[in-house]
Each structure stands twice: as structure tokens, then as C-alpha cells.
Amino acid sequence: MRFLPLLLLALATSACAAETVLPLWPEGVPGKRVAPSKSVLDRIGAKGSYAGHETFINEPSITVYPAANPNGAAVIVCPGGGYWFLSTKNEGTGVCEWLNSIGVTGILLRYRTPTADETLPHDYPVQDLQRSLGLVRAHAKEWNIDPKRVGVIGFSAGANLVGHASWDRTPRTYEQKPGVDDPRGPDFTVFVYGGGFLDKEDMTKFREGFSVPADAPPCFFVVAHNDRTNPVEAAKLYLEYKRQNIQAELHIYSKGGHGFGTRQTKFPVDGWTKSAGEWMTSEGYFNASK
């Protein structure tokens, strides 16, 4: 079962004509994860990984999907899956295809899973995203990327992940490699139906220890009104951006639920990619043509 992610990675790379697949930690993956609990294994199910659904990722990697007519921007794509699997089609390769259509290099991050049983489920995935940012900037010239226009997009747990990478200001939890790791976070963030930053008992407040820093990257928030408490999260985060006069845009669609990704729902939420492209254009990251 644990060999399936490698097979799926090879198939996805072949099908989408990805230019490059790079392991994040060729010198050895940092840290030691706890063994998945029975409850997590039961949620994963006997199939484990299958098309569009990958887990037991022990050797995280990035897959680079170059645009035919690159405009210099790149976006690292972080699929969701509750930190126990990755939705690598609807919130992964489909997103890279959209990014390519507007001239952006899409970079699919396969971060470590499952980590749902860890004390901080996002900790090891954040390490993977931080290393990814460094790798992309280190290869910027080779991949026709402007190292000052490297953004992140995350969905659900992946949005929680990009939120931590964008807003946390704690020291990195792995030993940095000169010439590969970059101390900077993302240049811009797209936060799609994410959560995990509000107090569970009082959702008018951020959880203890969290705040949006004054140097937070510009952010585009998108969520559906009928997606549990995630609209409250997006609204609270946006209001904090507004309070600090940090560039941001918020879209709350009436219908769409959770997990719409790049799937067509026949609701207005299907237009979120167009709006996100227009936002990135207005912020000067690229010129969207679609």
C-alpha cells in the first residue's frame, strides 16, 4: 500500500507532462513521525492511495508544471485532506492546469501524510512547504520564475498549512541548508476554505498564541457560506488584514460547500479561479489572460 504514492506520482507526472519532480529532503527527511492511530488508518481505508487521493507520503516532493507562456509567477499548490491524505486531483493537478492556463508555473507539493496524530499536525507539512519555497527560489532562473513572485495556495488542511507558513513567525523546526533554504515566506497567499486559527470556544477570537503579523503576505480568501465555520474563519482573518491595512480580498459564495476545489458545481463559486486570477493581476504578480 505504501508504494502506491510513488506509482501514482509517476502516472500523474507522465499524464500532465510535468517538467521536474524533486525530492525535498535528499539528505534525509527531518523529524520522526508517530505511527498512525487505528482511527486514522480506519479513515484512510484499506485502499490507502488511489487516483486523486494519496497518503502514506514519507518522501515529500514537488512536481513542477511549467506554463507554455510563463509570466514569471509561480504558485506552490497544497491540497487538502485533513492531514491524513492529499486530494491531489481536485485540489492539486487541476489547480496546476488552471495556473498554467494563465501563464503561472504550478508546483504541486506532496507533503508528508498522515500527520493527523501529531501534537501539531501542521508541523512537518510546514517544514515541507518552507523547503519548497527555498527550492523554487533556488531554481528560479532555471524555471523562468521571478523569485519575488512565488505564492502559495492551499485548500482545507492545505489552507491551514499555507496559513501557518504565511503568518507564523516562530523559528524553523529543521536545520536549514545553505543555498537551498530561504528565510522568506510566500510572496502572496490564496486561502481556500481553510480554518484552524480561531478559538474553539469563542470564534470571535483567534486561538491563543496566534496573530496575523504586520508583514503578512497579501491574501485572497475564498469560501462558501454553507461550509460549516470556515466562512467565520475567512471573515475574521480578512478583518484583521483590513485592520492592519494589509492587502487582501475576500469572497464568500452562498453555495458550494466544502471541497469544491476545481470541480464544477454549477454554483457561482465556480468563478473563484477567475476572481483569483484577476486579484493576482491587480496586485502585479502577473497578467491573467483567462
pLDDT 10s digits, 200-252: 999 999 999 999 999 999 999 999 999 999 999 999 999 999 999 999 999 99
Domain membership flag for residue 63: yes
CATH number for 24 = 3.40.50.1820
Number of domains within the chain: 1
Express as a percent the part of the chain with pLDDT over 90.
Answer: 92
Q: Is residue 109 part of a domain?
A: yes
Find out whether 220 and 229 touch, Cβ atoms under 8 Å. Answer: no
14 pLDDT above the threshold of 90: no
Residues with Cβ within 8 Å of 276's Cβ and at least 6 positions away in sequence, in order, are 190, 220, 222
pLDDT score recorded for residue 12: 42
User: Does some domain include residue 75?
Assistant: yes
pLDDT digits (tens, 9 = 90+) for 21-59: 999 999 999 999 999 999 999 999 999 999 999 999 999
CA–CA distance, 107 with 96 (Å, rounded to integer): 7
Question: Would the pLDDT of 2 be above 90?
Answer: no
Q: What is the arithmetic mean of pLDDT over 125-150?
A: 97
Q: Is residue 289 part of a domain?
A: no
For residue 288, name the pLDDT band (cuts at 50, 70, 90): very low
Nearest-CA neighbor of 126 among 91, 157, 95, 94? 157
d(CA 186, CA 279): 16
User: Is residue 36 in a domain?
Assistant: yes
pLDDT > 70: percent of the chain: 92
Q: Domain range spanning residue 12?
A: 4-282
What pLDDT shows up at residue 15?
A: 41
Query: Is 290 within a domain?
Result: no
Indicate whether 1 pLDDT > 60.
no
The rounded distance, in Å, linking the Cα atoms of 238 and 189 is 12
